[in-house]
Structure 1
């Protein structure tokens, strides 16, 4: 009963505060500041440790909880490629570090419009290559990300494969944004977080002079063959639900070990409420299990 009340309260918070802030008329600089304040409600587990580091020349945050075991998670934060940071996602990465018993590295990749495509992809690649240089076994590295970071996760894996580089042990994407053409957006009865006009503005700022169908911008148009085991999570109350479904279908058709989870009556990147909302906490545990099982293969 209490969880139902909490879920309803969080949904109203998303609708009344977060969604209005993600309006195309608001300057990106203001949105960055507002969203940074909003993410303070996403609380990491007690005793989480956050260290500012540099990975491949990219500023990043290393998140640890307890005594990290073998393996590491490269986490790519969301925010439409224009907002968000390793700091805004401390709640989520803290719970992921606890559940996975791994250190989580979250790079502050360059954002648009100051740095349009391919800056974010280049920074994500530099961070991954730095992990290899540090001596991490590729099979022990998991790449995960939410929203734009989910699309970036898939694009990075494709780029690494195309270059013949060692691939990570697993991929996990939360409410992935993998089709920036927005020709197949889902129409839920309610969408507590995202506005189509805002994600369209973000896509325009990120793409710059590149076509939105570029496979490293919209991975749904790319070749997914040979990618590592893939976990996809999405809520039923989000306009990006079809991105998740189409990604799962395409990946499975191309031989990728794929698992799609749709959480009924939850919203875009609901996992930020881990530690408060039981279903969000459980979703993080599923991600941790996926990472562990993939490494053991």
Structure 2
């Protein structure tokens, strides 16, 4: 049985009709305009007090580098935030990054990558690739965990596959949180999953996926939909997925591919959990976060 707080958050989100609002194109574009007006969230006071925060830009897109002032370890987290490839980083992402740094002493790179619909994947990936290569030069590829939630989870897998294809240094491991791996949103499980999901809708996700693919381009190709590319010769992967998440279907399909291709994959299911539940202030998230930390540190996840 899920916690009372998790049920309460789900109740509020359903009451606010978030899923229906994001499914409607005009309403979704209003949300997007509001997001652009507010801009991306910045690292908060804790980061300024307990770490050294530096910034640099790649093609006018900001990248944050964060190093703890004390107890800095060998681990480095390369975090790609979620938001349907269209919305800016928000405070819950920074809260998660803070928890990871506090618990592991890791440093972190957080690219504010080019967003859709102003940009598509072909304009965004080169920025993130440059940020990753800079992190490799500074921290060593073997020490890096590429990690992301939702669209950032899809981005994390796609980036790792691209590194493999281009013969570039691979990260030590990859963590995918409620990853969006198929931008076409055409899995036969998803109409039923949509009934339980309080955030995501099939129509809203398809619209965002087409934005990411580019006008008139096919969304069912790599890296827009990294699920459709080979997953051989990748570093160890951990997936965290909720059974009441529209994108649960993507996680299951990746696990099936991993089983067939002998990819080292650890699969964590949050029963009755919603999209990106591991970032929420709930009891279930604390367990997931402990498992995430263990995986980063090379322990049994």
TM-score bucket (shorter structure): 0.7 to 0.9
Distance 1:51 1:32, change over 3 A: farther
Contact 2:278 2:288 in 1 (8 A): yes
Question: Judging changes above 3 Å, is the alpha-carbon distance between structure 1 residues 32 and 261 closer, same or farther for their aligned structure 2 residues?
Answer: farther
What is the TM-score of this pair, normalised by structure 2?
Answer: 0.85
Tell me what 1:203 maps to. 209
The residue that corresponds to 1:15 in the other structure is: 14
1:154 is matched with 157
Alignment-derived partner of residue 51 in structure 1: 53
Q: How does 1:264-283 map to 2 (within 5 A)?
A: 264-273=271-280, 276-283=281-288
Aligned counterparts of 1:202 and 1:44: Cα–Cα separation in 2: 32
Return the alpha-carbon distance in structure 2 between the equivalents of residues 13 and 95 of structure 1: 25
Q: Is 2:262 the partner of 1:260?
A: no
2:235 maps to what in 1?
228
Report the counterpart of residue 103 of structure 1 in structure 2.
107
Name the CA shift for 1:33/1:93 in 2 (closer, same or farther; >3 Å).
Answer: farther
TM-score (norm 1): 0.86
Shift of 1:249: 1.4
TM alignment of 1:162-177, pairs within 5 A = 162-177=165-180
Confirm or deny: 8 A CA contact 1:56 1:129 kept in the other structure.
Answer: no
Q: In the superposition, relative to structure 1, how do residues 177 and 114 fare at CA in structure 2: closer, same or farther (>3 Å)? A: same
Segments of structure 2 that go 5 or more residues without pairing to the other structure are none
Note the aligned Cα RMSD (angstroms). Answer: 2.9
* Counterpart contact for 1:61–1:86, Cα < 8 Å: no
Residue correspondences, number: 288
Tell me how far apart the structure 2 counterparts of residues 4 and 87 of structure 1 sit (CA, whole Å). Answer: 23
CA distance in 2, matches of 1:281, 1:36: 33
Q: Does the Cα contact within 8 Å between 1:194 and 1:239 map onto a contact in 2?
A: yes
249-258 vs 229-238, which deviates more? 249-258
Equivalent of 2:290, from 273, 285, 294?
A: 285
**Alignment partners' CA distance in 1, 2:284 and 2:109:** 24
The CA deviation at 1:166 is: 1.0
SS in 2 for 1:25: helix
Contact 1:73 1:142 in 2 (8 A): yes
